[in-house]
């Protein structure tokens, strides 16, 4: 099953490699991993998307908790949560028809055109991973020049929070 | 403003304030500022090894025997990489150790400088935690944290990487009394509700079994375990790492379990209906085939490391906490409980166990012609009253030592159980002897293992560490040979030891006493003679039976009930 694990860890050199190293050393899957500092500069917030049986996910959360740099952790998939991912995609758009079609699709998916040249559009889009996948599939075949995705960032719904 | 001290002085002061007795080390460019400070002091005492691997094993042996953290100091680059095997050894067996590695000065880091290696990166997968000190003002706190992390919770090795310029920089010194790490809060007390449930389940058992591991030794809980087990009257088995936590000569002890465990221990595991696992981690050498593991049992697992619980085997009652605290709580409940174990059921269970015991699975064929390795260990146990500190290397001799030396006290049996590190035994024995100069310290080894760290015989001479080396020399990597005999149709690929040194002359060349024994009749007198030479290191080169195998054996991936006895092999 797919799980989204959010964690707070010390914003220290090597903390990311401890997490990444744990996943490779123990043979766990990482679908995506994002990390950035929080409003408290001493801590970073990480979102990991992984797959595994219940037993494997239990081990993943226990092993992550065991890392000295990990302050707190929550498996967001255990309750209602929000996921968002940012994507930048560069799309070929040479003639008027192509430009019109790409702009129309981008609007439908609530994307924004960030950059325009005579040959291409660069579109910004946020959403769940599924929505971004759907947009890429909707684009005309072979029009996609380049895709960059941030990986999933997750947060729980309601009052619950992951705080130090 | 207080007086400013250089990083190197601060380092030494920290170790003094931490109460460190010994530093096992080897100097080099990146740690010369520190060595210049060590030149001025007698305490802690620096023990110069001959290879950095030896330093880690010696510090590890010291830590296992005393319960105090072992301390290692090495230089950057190769000095640091040579410690990896020793660090991984300590990590697998949860041994508290703090390893200080030199590093090139900060401005050179990342430049492929002379003797530069990414110590933090290279040790990361085999340490509990590691640090690089990047500001001299953090030095004392980092050292305090390192000792705190190494010795608390589930213990383990911690590496502190010290760039050379940090040891030259200055600041005021104050050693923190304690440290608070917001991301590291090991649980110590077990959950009272879970403990109550566990005691109730144990009291209802009809075929109970207690399986205890190295965690009991590490947490100094042998006394509690013994009292608890005796109060219940239940059978108990120890893992390889747990030997000595319950007296081996006690009738309730059914021997070691697992791949080379006793018939009675393994069969009782297979048939039990309630299993109390305490300070053990269900290692594959213990469980065998997980599908066939304890098929009838409800399992209670007590461990300080939540990640050890339900890692390999699903558990019915998990209890996270220090095994000593949990045992104390369980003892208190047991004493106040009106319920008692079912006497009839227990009697029937013991009757069954005694039948398995009657198989006498550790019996071996005696010989007047050739020395049986088991016989040497039995004699050593007899002559030392089962009270010596015994270290071992890895292989057949290790298993025979575990089977035939009857450990009645914890911390007497010192071996590399998890990583299985050949070369561990002799340097580890030196660490033990430093801690306990008055005690008998024996290293049981094989000729393949011993040569892996043979250079430490020089260290033994320099610091006058008269250990006894019991060399079971069968001219084979015995355990490899045994597997090749059983599972590779006797194709003995590269498991023979050709061109062995003359161990007697080799020992003499290092300034010690060497003896060779080839006849079974001379074993006892040679051991006596060696043990009586209190002030000399003695190596006895026992020329043993080349084809002897370790029995019983559960082949990898088999169940406890598929145990092979020597008689089975002969029939097959």
Task: Give the CA diameter of chain A.
Answer: 57
Query: B288 and B282 in contact (C-beta within 8 Å)?
Result: no
Q: Which of A21, A65, A70 sits opposite B125 (nearest CB)?
A: A21
Mean model confidence pLDDT for chain B:
97
Q: Does A59 touch chain B (CB under 8 A)?
A: yes
Q: Does A7 touch chain B (CB under 8 A)?
A: no
Q: Which range (A21-25, B5-9, B130-134, B567-571) has the least confidence?
A: B567-571
Q: Using a CB-CB distance cutoff of 8 angstroms, which residues of chain B are in contact with residue A17?
A: 121, 124
Q: How large a percentage of chain B has pLDDT more than 90? A: 98
Mean model confidence pLDDT for chain A:
96
* CATH code of the domain in which A46 resides: 3.30.70.260
**Residues contacting residue B538 through CB under 8 Å, at least 6 positions apart:** B466, B468, B469, B512, B513, B514, B515, B529, B530
Q: Which of A9, A59, A164 sits opposite B311 (nearest CB)?
A: A59
Minimal-distance CA residue of chain B relative to A61: B307
DSSP B8-33: HHHHHHHHHHTT--EEEE---GGGHH
Q: Using a CB-CB distance cutoff of 8 angstroms, which residues of chain A are in contact with residue B181?
A: 68
pLDDT band at B571 (very low <50, low <70, confident <90, very high): very low
Task: Note whether B183 contacts A71, CB cutoff 8 Å.
Answer: yes
What average pLDDT score do residues B101-117 get?
97
Instruction: Tell whether A105 and A132 lie within a shared domain.
Output: yes
Q: Which of B560, B566, B561 is nearest to B285 (CA)?
A: B560
The predicted pLDDT at position A164 comes to: 86
**CA of B328 to nearest chain A CA: how many angstroms apart?**
25
Q: Which residues of chain A have pLDDT under 70?
A: none
Express each pLDDT in B523-537 by its tens digit. 999 999 999 999 999
Specify if A88 maps to a domain.
yes
Which one is catalytic: B256, B259, B422, B479?
B479
Q: Which of A10, A18, A164 sits opposite B124 (nearest CB)?
A: A18
**Lookup: tokens for B126:** 């085999």
Q: Which of B149, B181, B307 sits opposite A59 (nearest CB)?
A: B307
- Enumerate residues 65 to 104 of chain A having a beta carbon within 8 A of any beta carbon in chain B: 65-66, 68-71
Q: How large a percentage of chain B has pLDDT more than 70? A: 99
DSSP B544: B
Instruction: Tell whether A51 and A102 lie within a shared domain.
Output: no
Q: Active site includes B409?
A: no
Instruction: Tell whether A6 and A68 lie within a shared domain.
Output: yes
The predicted pLDDT at position A102 comes to: 95
Instruction: Tell whether A107 and A87 lie within a shared domain.
Output: yes
Minimal-distance CA residue of chain B relative to A70: B183
What average pLDDT score do residues B214-220 get?
98
Alpha carbon separation from A128 to A111, B46, B419 (Å, rounded):
13, 59, 44
Query: B462 and B419 in contact (C-beta within 8 Å)?
Result: no
Residue B379 has pLDDT above 80, yes or no: yes
Residue B271 has pLDDT above 50, yes or no: yes
Residue B570 has pLDDT above 70, yes or no: no
Which one is catalytic: B128, B144, B145, B164?
B164
Residue B569 has pLDDT above 70, yes or no: no
Express each pLDDT in B545-568 by its tens digit. 999 999 999 998 899 999 999 887
User: B98 in helix, strand or coil?
Assistant: strand
Q: What share of chain B is helix, strand, coil (3-state, %, to 5)?
A: 45, 15, 40
Specify if A16 maps to a domain.
yes
Express each pLDDT in A46-61 by its tens digit. 999 999 999 999 999 9
What average pLDDT score do residues B335-363 get?
96
Residue ending a domain, choose from A37, A61, A79: A79
The predicted pLDDT at position B132 comes to: 98
Express each pLDDT in A65-93 by its tens digit. 999 999 999 999 999 999 999 999 999 99
Instruction: Tell whether A100 and A130 lie within a shared domain.
Output: yes
**Apex B151 CA angle, B147 and B156, nearest 5:** 100
Express each pLDDT in B11-51 by its tens digit. 999 999 999 999 999 999 999 999 999 999 999 999 999 99
Specify if A25 maps to a domain.
yes
Q: Which residue has the tokens 């089977």?
A: B403
Minimal-distance CA residue of chain A relative to B154: A66
Q: Active site includes B164?
A: yes
Instruction: Tell whether A42 and A64 lie within a shared domain.
Output: yes
* CATH code of the domain in which A90 resides: 3.30.70.1150
Residue ending a domain, choose from A79, A110, A127: A79
Q: Using a CB-CB distance cutoff of 8 angstroms, which residues of chain B are in contact with residue A69?
A: 129, 183
The predicted pLDDT at position B2 comes to: 77
Task: Note whether A66 contacts B307, CB cutoff 8 Å.
Answer: yes
Task: Note whether B129 contacts A68, CB cutoff 8 Å.
Answer: yes
Task: Note whether B120 contacts A58, CB cutoff 8 Å.
Answer: no
Q: Is residue A28 left, alpha or beta, with left meaning phi > 0 and alpha meaning psi from -120 to 50?
A: beta
DSSP A135-162: HHHHSPTT-EEEEEE---EEEESTT---
**CA of B384 to nearest chain A CA: how many angstroms apart?**
41
Task: Note whether A10 contacts B307, CB cutoff 8 Å.
Answer: no
Q: Using a CB-CB distance cutoff of 8 angstroms, which residues of chain B are in contact with residue A68?
A: 128-129, 149, 181, 183-184
CA dihedral B416→B310→B561→B243, nearest 10 degrees, is 30
Specify if A95 maps to a domain.
yes
Q: Using a CB-CB distance cutoff of 8 angstroms, which residues of chain A are in contact with residue B124?
A: 14, 17-18, 21
Express each pLDDT in B222-268 by its tens digit. 999 999 999 999 999 999 999 999 999 999 999 999 999 999 999 99
Q: Active site includes B452?
A: no
Q: What share of chain A is helix, strand, coil (3-state, %, to 5)?
A: 30, 40, 30
Instruction: Tell whether A45 and A111 lie within a shared domain.
Output: no
Specify if A118 maps to a domain.
yes
Specify if A158 maps to a domain.
no
Query: B470 and B376 in contact (C-beta within 8 Å)?
Result: yes
**Lookup: tokens for B310:** 């339900």
Q: Which of A13, A62, A68 sits opposite B307 (nearest CB)?
A: A62
Q: Using a CB-CB distance cutoff of 8 angstroms, which residues of chain B are in contact with residue A63?
A: 307
Q: Which residue has the tokens 């991984």?
A: B88
Note down the domain range covering A42: 2-79
ipTM: 0.93
Task: Note whether A9 contacts B305, CB cutoff 8 Å.
Answer: no
Instruction: Tell whether A116 and A147 lie within a shared domain.
Output: yes
Instruction: Tell whether A39 and A64 lie within a shared domain.
Output: yes
Instruction: Tell whether A149 and A136 lie within a shared domain.
Output: yes
**Residues contacting residue B274 through CB under 8 Å, at least 6 positions apart:** B201, B202, B204, B205, B207, B208, B209, B297, B298, B299, B300
What average pLDDT score do residues B428-439 get?
98
Instruction: Tell whether A8 and A73 lie within a shared domain.
Output: yes
Q: Active site includes B335?
A: no
The predicted pLDDT at position A131 comes to: 97
Which one is catalytic: B9, B37, B52, B447?
B52
Specify if A162 maps to a domain.
no
Q: Which of B125, B134, B181 sits opposite A25 (nearest CB)?
A: B125
Q: Using a CB-CB distance cutoff of 8 angstroms, which residues of chain A are in contact with residue B149?
A: 68
State how far Cα B557 lies from the chain centre. 24
Residue ending a domain, choose from A23, A55, A79: A79
The predicted pLDDT at position B572 comes to: 44
Q: Which of A13, A55, A70 sits opposite B183 (nearest CB)?
A: A70
Task: Note whether B149 contacts A68, CB cutoff 8 Å.
Answer: yes
Q: Using a CB-CB distance cutoff of 8 angstroms, which residues of chain A are in contact with residue B184?
A: 68
**Residues contacting residue B87 through CB under 8 Å, at least 6 positions apart:** B56, B97, B99, B123, B126, B127, B157, B159
Q: Using a CB-CB distance cutoff of 8 angstroms, which residues of chain B are in contact with residue A62?
A: 306-307
Q: Count A/B contacts: CB-CB distance under 8 Å.
A: 40
Instruction: Tell whether A25 and A11 lie within a shared domain.
Output: yes
Query: B216 and B225 in contact (C-beta within 8 Å)?
Result: yes
Query: A86 and A150 in contact (C-beta within 8 Å)?
Result: yes
Residue B55 has pLDDT above 80, yes or no: yes
Minimal-distance CA residue of chain A relative to B181: A68
pLDDT band at B303 (very low <50, low <70, confident <90, very high): very high
Helix (H), strand (E) at residue B80:
helix B78-81
State how far Cα B540 lies from the chain centre. 23
pLDDT band at B450 (very low <50, low <70, confident <90, very high): very high
Number of structural domains (chain A) is 2
Specify if A115 maps to a domain.
yes
**CA of B279 to nearest chain A CA: how many angstroms apart?**
17
Q: Active site includes B479?
A: yes
The predicted pLDDT at position A44 comes to: 97
The predicted pLDDT at position B567 comes to: 80
């Amino acid at each position: 099953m797919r799980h989204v694990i959010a964690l707070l860890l010390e914003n220290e050199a090597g903390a990311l490699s401890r997490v990444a190293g744990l996943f490779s050393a123990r043979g766990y899957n990482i679908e995506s991993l994002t990390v950035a500092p929080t409003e408290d500069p001493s801590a970073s917030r990480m979102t990991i998307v992984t797959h595994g049986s219940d037993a494997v996910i239990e081990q993943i959360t226990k092993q992550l908790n065991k890392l000295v740099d990990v302050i707190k952790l929550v498996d967001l998939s255990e309750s209602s949560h929000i996921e968002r991912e940012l994507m930048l995609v560069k799309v070929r758009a040479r003639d008027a028809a192509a430009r019109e079609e790409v702009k129309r699709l981008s609007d439908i998916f609530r994307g924004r055109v960030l950059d325009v040249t005579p040959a291409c559009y660069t579109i910004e889009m946020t959403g769940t991973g599924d929505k971004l996948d759907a947009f890429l599939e909707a684009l005309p075949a072979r029009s996609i020049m380049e895709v960059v995705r941030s990986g999933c960032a997750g947060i729980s719904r309601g009052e619950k929070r992951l705080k130090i | 403003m207080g007086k400013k001290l250089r990083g190197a002085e601060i380092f030494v002061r920290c170790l003094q304030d931490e109460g460190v007795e010994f530093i096992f080390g080897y100097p080099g460019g990146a740690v010369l500022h520190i060595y210049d400070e060590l030149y001025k002091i007698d305490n802690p005492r620096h023990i110069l090894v001959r290879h950095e691997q030896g330093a880690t094993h010696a510090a590890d042996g010291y830590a296992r025997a005393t319960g105090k953290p072992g301390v290692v100091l090495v230089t950057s680059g190769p000095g640091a990489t040579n410690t990896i095997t020793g660090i991984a050894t300590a990590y697998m067996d949860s041994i508290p150790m703090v390893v200080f590695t030199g590093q090139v000065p900060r401005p050179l880091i990342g430049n492929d400088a002379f003797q530069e290696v990414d110590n933090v990166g290279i040790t990361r997968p085999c340490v509990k935690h590691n640090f690089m000190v990047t500001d001299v003002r953090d030095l004392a706190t980092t050292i305090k944290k390192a000792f705190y992390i190494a010795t608390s919770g589930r213990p383990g090795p911690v590496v502190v990487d010290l760039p050379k310029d940090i040891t030259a920089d200055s600041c005021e010194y104050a050693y923190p009394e304690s440290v608070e790490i917001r991301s590291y809060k090991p649980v110590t007390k077990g959950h009272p509700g879970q403990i109550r449930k566990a005691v109730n389940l144990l009291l209802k058992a009809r075929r109970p079994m207690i399986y205890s591991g190295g965690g009991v030794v590490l947490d100094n809980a042998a006394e509690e375990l013994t009292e608890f087990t005796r109060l219940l009257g239940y059978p108990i088995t120890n893992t390889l790492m747990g030997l000595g936590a319950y007296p081996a000569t006690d009738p309730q002890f059914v021997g070691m379990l697992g791949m080379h465990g006793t018939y009675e221990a393994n069969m009782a595991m297979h048939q039990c209906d309630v299993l109390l696992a305490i300070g053990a981690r269900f290692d594959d050498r213990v469980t065998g085939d997980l599908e066939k593991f304890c098929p009838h049992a409800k399992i209670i697992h007590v461990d300080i490391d939540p990640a050890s619980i339900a890692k390999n085997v699903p558990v019915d009652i998990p209890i996270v906490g220090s095994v000593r605290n949990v045992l104390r709580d369980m003892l208190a409940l047991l004493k106040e409980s009106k319920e008692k174990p079912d006497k009839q059921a227990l009697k029937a269970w013991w009757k069954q166990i005694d039948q398995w015991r009657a198989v006498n699975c550790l019996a071996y064929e005696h010989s007047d012609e050739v020395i049986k390795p088991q016989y040497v260990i039995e004699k050593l146990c007899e002559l030392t009253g089962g009270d010596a500190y015994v270290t071992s290397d890895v292989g057949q001799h290790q298993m025979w030592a575990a089977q035939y030396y009857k450990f009645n006290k914890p911390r007497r049996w010192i071996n590399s159980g998890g990583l299985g590190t050949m070369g561990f035994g002799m340097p580890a024995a030196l660490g033990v002897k430093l801690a306990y100069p008055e005690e008998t310290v024996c290293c049981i080894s094989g000729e393949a293992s011993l040569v892996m760290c043979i250079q430490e015989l020089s260290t033994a001479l320099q610091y006058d560490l008269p250990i006894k080396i019991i060399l079971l020399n069968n001219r084979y990597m015995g355990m490899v040979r045994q597997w090749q005999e059983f599972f590779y149709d006797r194709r003995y690929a590269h498991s023979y030891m050709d061109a062995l040194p003359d161990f007697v002359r080799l020992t003499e060349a290092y300034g010690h006493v060497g003896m060779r024994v080839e006849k079974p009749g001379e074993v006892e007198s040679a051991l006596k003679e060696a043990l009586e030479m209190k002030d000399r290191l003695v190596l006895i080169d026992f020329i043993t039976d080349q084809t002897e195998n370790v029995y019983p054996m559960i082949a990898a991936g088999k169940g406890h009930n598929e145990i092979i006895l020597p008689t089975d092999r002969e029939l097959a």
